[in-house]
């Protein structure tokens, strides 16, 4: 069988001759070719040439953002409108919308003047980002900043024209030939609201806007749904075989109730329409899927791609296979940290492969891939080794049973947590409920009532508000509440403390400590860090947030200025973790380490890493960051 035949057979639920293997090399290639660190024999080779030479299938799933046909392809990234060789449609902006474009050093600001108002967005794509292995764009200024921005964006979507344009896709398809299956891009998001979330609003602000601007957002989603319907119709009548329909599902960001309400109906619809035409829907499920397992399985999607199992996330690959493989095809299964010598020993790597081949037996509905992609610092020989083992042991059906569960000596799985209990304080129950419900309006009135009754501000804060906020933190930890609840609760909490402040000042309550925090250089992930900020503020810490992509020099300058008790460093990429050490070393050099406590966190970080780089502590989540910050304050 050819790679193409194998992949399509796996997607159809048939039994290919052996496991297909398609590693995503793009990021690894971008970073290493720019640094001159590609393997010697491939110094001048493109990713496809390398994959072909090694006998791997080409990974043609995500659009090649760094290889556009022209800069126009992704010009309207900030609106989520794009046309590239991976799409089978083109678009035309409404004639009465005036588009102003200003580009400078990798930063592009676009202003849209529509008959119903003006909006703007700024998108960044620099050489430095490419060197550190980023393949797509970073939205510095989002198009939806306030409620008034919804109408102009809706206008653009209502009047946008889409037309069939499959020529470049066909050319690309024929270049790939039998070496892979090109997935055609329908949309990077799976539904209209998800489209707003992924492209148009800041990742954390989305949760507030979803709550506060619900009417405007639903209105805009309706305008965008015409676009989605049109895309669906164009893709259905196109030569596309497998269709990329939405990315970055994660049980925190696309939490279960949201996934169920806003995302799943559209996947079902796409799978129905495209399925009837003999096409397949694939979604990029690269996040934490633990809370979404059944929802994804029953959504109708035909392929869950970029599946990144334990030890990078909580669900093991055998569990995925057992729960999903009768309904959909799993593409992925090899977490990227297995390719890094810092995180995984040679022995653990081999042990994982032993386990993997048995865990996915008999191998139907399985396409092996490195999820989400081969990282820049991957040990190249390990990719080769996977290819060799697939060729030797990947013949289907694979034999199950008798496997040693992967112990991953240095890698530990999060222990299941007990459900959190809040002990209501009868006297303050009403404001505790306000915090739980994130009711920022009601809480102000209730605080005023309490004060008028003569209750002490300190008691209202400690017995009422802080206990409720801590319980929210605990419930977040146990998975009983999700990001939006935490953010809204913390906002209500902040309203309440602001109302109490004049009275607290007289009671001489001081902040519990000063925390300076940021996501390190090269890293643009901020959802988790923002949550940590919110939770620390919620329980009374004074926090200064430096944002994302923060250089060591900036941390130093701000430590000197702000004089924090604790410096918090966040990193979500294995490539940016070393930045934490660079910051710590730079602080030492400047003589600023002294009594300053340093806490680190982020998905790939762990206790051992924290110790190795000389940090004072590691927190796995927002709630633990409160516990750790308190511990550091007294140590």
Residue ranges that bind ligand B1M, judged by CB under 6 A: 27, 133-136, 203, 248, 250, 252-253, 286-288, 308, 313, 336-337, 371-373, 375, 483, 517, 522-529, 531-532, 568-570, 572-575, 599-604, 619, 621-622, 625
Residue among 321 and 450 whose Cβ is closer to ligand B1M: 321
CB 572 to ligand B1M: min, Å: 4
Q: What are phi and psi of 543, to 5 degrees?
A: -120, 135
CA distance 180 to 546: 43
CB 200 to ligand B1M: min, Å: 13
CB 132 to ligand B1M: min, Å: 6
Q: What are phi and psi of 451, to 5 degrees?
A: -65, -40
Question: For residues 346-365, b (16+ Cβ closer than 10 Å) or e, as one string?
Answer: eebbebbbebbbbbbbebbb
Residue among 387 and 602 whose Cβ is closer to ligand B1M: 602
Residue nearest to ligand B1M (CB): 528
CA end-to-end distance (rounded Å), the chain: 63
Residue among 160 and 317 whose Cβ is closer to ligand B1M: 317
CA distance 456 to 460: 6
CB 193 to ligand B1M: min, Å: 16
CB 446 to ligand B1M: min, Å: 29
CA distance 327 to 306: 17
Residue among 304 and 361 whose Cβ is closer to ligand B1M: 304
Residue among 267 and 483 whose Cβ is closer to ligand B1M: 483
CB 1 to ligand B1M: min, Å: 28
Task: Kindly state the tokens that stand for 253.
Answer: 């960001």
CB 233 to ligand B1M: min, Å: 27
Cα distances from 561 to residues 157, 556, 591, in angstroms, run 46, 9, 14
Residue among 456 and 514 whose Cβ is closer to ligand B1M: 514
Residue among 357 and 476 whose Cβ is closer to ligand B1M: 476
Phi/psi-derived region of residue 482, left when phi > 0, alpha when psi is between -120 and 50, beta in every other case: beta
CA distance 444 to 61: 50
How many other CB atoms sit within 10 Å of the CB of residue 95? 8
Question: For residues 570-598, b (16+ Cβ closer than 10 Å) or e, as one string?
Answer: bbbbbbbbbbbbbbbebbeeeebbeebbb
Residue among 82 and 236 whose Cβ is closer to ligand B1M: 82
Phi/psi-derived region of residue 614, left when phi > 0, alpha when psi is between -120 and 50, beta in every other case: left
CA distance 489 to 440: 8
> Are 256 and 291 a contacting pair, CB within 8 Å?
yes
CB 471 to ligand B1M: min, Å: 16
Task: Kindly state the tokens that stand for 603.
Answer: 């998905």
Helix (H, G, I), strand (E, B) or coil at 452: helix
Residue among 124 and 234 whose Cβ is closer to ligand B1M: 124
Residue among 299 and 336 whose Cβ is closer to ligand B1M: 336
CB 299 to ligand B1M: min, Å: 17
Residue among 274 and 308 whose Cβ is closer to ligand B1M: 308
Residue 520 DSSP symbol: B
CB 410 to ligand B1M: min, Å: 15
Q: Where are the beta strands (DSSP E) in 87-156?
A: 89-92, 98-104, 107-114, 117-124, 138-141
Residue among 255 and 357 whose Cβ is closer to ligand B1M: 255
CA distance 201 to 143: 7
How many other CB atoms sit within 10 Å of the CB of residue 55? 14
CB 529 to ligand B1M: min, Å: 5
CB 246 to ligand B1M: min, Å: 12
CB 535 to ligand B1M: min, Å: 8
CB 339 to ligand B1M: min, Å: 10
Residue among 203 and 390 whose Cβ is closer to ligand B1M: 203
Residue among 495 and 523 whose Cβ is closer to ligand B1M: 523
Q: Give 217-223's long-range contacts (Cβ < 8 A, gap of 24+).
A: 217/150, 217/193, 218/193, 219/150, 219/154, 220/144, 220/150, 220/153, 220/154, 220/157, 220/192, 220/196, 221/191, 221/192, 221/193, 221/195, 221/196, 222/154, 222/192, 223/153, 223/154, 223/155, 223/157, 223/158
């Amino acid at each position: 069988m050819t790679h193409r035949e194998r992949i399509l057979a796996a997607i159809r639920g048939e039994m290919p001759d052996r496991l297909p293997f398609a590693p995503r090399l793009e990021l690894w290639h971008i970073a290493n070719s720019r640094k001159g660190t590609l393997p010697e024999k491939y110094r001048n080779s493109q990713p496809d040439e390398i994959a072909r030479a090694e006998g791997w299938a080409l990974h043609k799933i995500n659009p090649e953002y760094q290889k556009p046909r022209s800069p126009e392809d992704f010009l309207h990234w900030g609106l989520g409108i794009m046309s590239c060789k991976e799409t089978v449609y083109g678009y035309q902006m409404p004639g009465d919308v005036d588009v102003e474009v200003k580009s400078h050093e990798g930063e592009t600001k676009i202003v849209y003047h529509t008959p119903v108002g003006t909006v703007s967005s700024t998108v960044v794509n620099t050489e430095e980002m490419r060197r550190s292995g980023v393949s797509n764009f970073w939205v510095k200024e989002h198009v939806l900043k306030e409620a008034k921005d919804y109408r102009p964006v809706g206008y653009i979507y209502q009047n946008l024209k889409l037309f069939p344009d499959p020529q470049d896709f066909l050319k690309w398809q024929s270049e790939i030939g039998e070496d892979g299956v090109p997935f055609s891009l329908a949309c990077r998001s799976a539904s209209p609201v998800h489209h707003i979330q992924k492209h148009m609003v800041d990742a954390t602000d989305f949760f507030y806007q979803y709550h506060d601007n619900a009417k405007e957002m639903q209105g805009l989603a309706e305008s965008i749904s015409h676009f989605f319907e049109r895309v669906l119709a164009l893709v259905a009548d196109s030569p596309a075989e497998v269709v990329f329909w939405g990315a970055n599902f994660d049980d925190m960001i696309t939490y279960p109730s949201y996934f169920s309400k806003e995302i799943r109906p559209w996947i079902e619809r796409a799978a129905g329409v495209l399925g009837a035409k003999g096409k397949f829907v694939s979604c990029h499920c690269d996040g934490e899927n633990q809370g979404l397992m059944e929802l994804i399985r029953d959504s109708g999607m035909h392929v869950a791609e970029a599946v990144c199992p334990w030890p990078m996330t909580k669900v093991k690959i055998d569990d995925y296979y057992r729960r999903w493989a009768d309904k959909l095809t799993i593409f992925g299964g090899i977490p990227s940290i297995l390719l890094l010598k810092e995180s995984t020993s040679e022995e653990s790597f081999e042990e994982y492969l032993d386990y993997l081949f048995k865990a996915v037996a008999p191998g139907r509905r399985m396409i092996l891939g490195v999820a989400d992609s081969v990282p820049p610092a991957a040990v190249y020989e390990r990719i080769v080794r996977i290819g060799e083992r697939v060729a030797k042991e990947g013949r289907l059906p694979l034999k199950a049973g008798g496997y040693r569960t992967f112990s991953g000596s240095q890698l530990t799985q999060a222990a299941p947590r007990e459900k959190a209990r809040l002990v209501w304080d009868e006297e303050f129950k009403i404001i505790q409920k306000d915090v739980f419900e994130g009711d920022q309006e009601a809480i102000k009135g209730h605080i005023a009532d309490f004060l008028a009754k003569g209750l002490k501000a300190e008691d209202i804060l400690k017995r009422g508000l802080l206990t409720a906020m801590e319980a929210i933190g605990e419930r977040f930890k146990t998975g009983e509440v999700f990001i939006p609840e935490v953010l809204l609760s913390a906002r209500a909490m902040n309203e309440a403390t602001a109302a109490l402040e004049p009275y607290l000042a007289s009671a001489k309550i001081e902040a519990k400590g000063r925390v300076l925090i940021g996501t390190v250089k090269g890293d643009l992930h901020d959802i988790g860090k923002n949550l940590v900020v919110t939770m620390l503020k919620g329980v009374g810490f004074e926090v200064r947030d430096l944002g994302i992509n923060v250089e060591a020099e900036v941390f130093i300058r701000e430590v000197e200025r702000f004089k924090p008790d604790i410096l918090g460093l966040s990193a979500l990429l294995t490539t940016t973790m070393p930045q934490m050490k660079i910051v710590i070393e730079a602080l030492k050099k400047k003589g600023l380490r002294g009594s300053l406590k340093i806490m680190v966190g982020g998905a790939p970080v762990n206790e051992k890493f924290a110790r190795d780089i000389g940090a004072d502590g590691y927190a796995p989540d927002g709630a633990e960051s409160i516990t750790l910050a308190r511990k550091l304050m007294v140590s």
